[in-house]
């Protein structure tokens, strides 16, 4: 029986390596060419088309897996941010870090948006959105962020502004280097509590 188990284990290990390589290369290939075909991705991953289709029967499934992987790696990076100090400073850190991650995978996101329903895209971002929600709730409690708008709305605005910046970069109306500043100024301007001075 041991002789039968070793090959099976080896096949599973090879399959895991192939799958991981395909997902990683998908992100890299789409960054270079957002319209890359399945055969091009398979060739870049060093596998045949049938091997790729064995793991991902459709382009949508491949893009979903690649996007989930990119978001998971991003979450590990964002997980190192501490909710300490001034909530506005932490928001700036989160924006700057998030933009780097979004910029790296914006071609992938654009491709995924063509294949996946908006609700699924939003679902894949749940962990990242939970982190933003935690930060904004904390900031409201500290009096740093305006509390006259629901946190869920502020989370949605954050998501829309960051991904809107990615669309502007893709359209050539905004440079990647300037996007972080634009996002930061937009969100801080919208979220920061203002004292009007009215009596």
The per-residue pLDDT for range 79-120, each reduced to its tens digit, is: 777 777 899 999 998 898 888 888 888 888 888 888 899 889
Planar angle of CA 13, 38, 101, nearest 5 degrees:
75
* Residue 23: count of CB within 10 angstroms of its CB: 21
Length of the chain: 199
| Per-residue three-class SS string for the chain | CHHHHHHHHHHHHHHHHHHHHHHHHHHHHHHHCCCCCHHHHHHHHCCCHHHHHHHCCCHHHHHHHHHHHHHHHHHHHHCCCCCCCCHHHHHHHHHHHHHHHHHHHHHHHHHHHHHCCHHHHHHHCHHHHHHHHHHHHHHHHCCCECCCCCHHHHHHHHHHHHHHHHHHHHCCCCCHHHHHHHHHHHHHHHHECCCCCCC
Return residue ranges of the chain for CATH 1.10.10: 1-57
193: pLDDT strictly greater than 80: no
Adjacent-strand bridge partners of 192: 145
What Rg, from alpha-carbon coordinates, does the chain have? 20
What CATH number matches the domain at 1-57, 3.30.200, 1.25.40, 1.10.10, 1.10.357?
A: 1.10.10
* Residue 197: count of CB within 10 angstroms of its CB: 5
13 pLDDT tier (thresholds 50, 70, 90): confident
158: pLDDT strictly greater than 50: yes
Task: Please tell me the pTM assigned to this model.
Answer: 0.73
Q: For the domain 59-199, what is the CATH code?
A: 1.10.357.10
More confident position, 91 or 127: 91
More confident position, 65 or 107: 65
Return residue ranges of the chain for CATH 1.10.357.10: 59-199
7 pLDDT tier (thresholds 50, 70, 90): very low
5: pLDDT strictly greater than 60: no
Q: Which pair of tokens denotes residue 92?
A: 């700036």
């Amino acid at each position: 029986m041991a002789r039968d188990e070793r090959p099976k284990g080896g096949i599973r290990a090879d399959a895991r390596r192939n799958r991981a390589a395909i997902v990683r290369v998908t992100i890299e290939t789409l960054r270079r060419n957002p319209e890359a075909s399945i055969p091009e991705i398979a060739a870049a991953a060093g596998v045949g088309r049938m091997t790729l289709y064995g793991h991902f029967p459709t382009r949508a499934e491949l893009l979903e897996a690649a996007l989930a992987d990119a978001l998971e790696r991003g979450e590990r990076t964002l997980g190192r941010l501490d909710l300490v100090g001034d909530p506005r400073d932490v928001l700036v850190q989160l924006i700057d870090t998030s933009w780097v991650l979004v910029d790296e995978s914006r071609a992938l996101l654009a491709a995924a948006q063509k294949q996946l329903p908006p609700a699924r895209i939003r679902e894949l971002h749940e962990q990242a959105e939970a982190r933003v929600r935690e930060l904004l709730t904390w900031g409201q409690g500290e009096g740093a962020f305006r509390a006259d708008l629901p946190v869920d709305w502020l989370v949605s605005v954050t998501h829309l502004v960051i991904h809107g910046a990615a669309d502007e970069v893709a359209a050539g109306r905004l440079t990647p280097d300037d996007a972080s500043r634009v996002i930061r100024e937009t969100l801080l301007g919208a979220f920061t509590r203002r004292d009007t001075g009215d009596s």
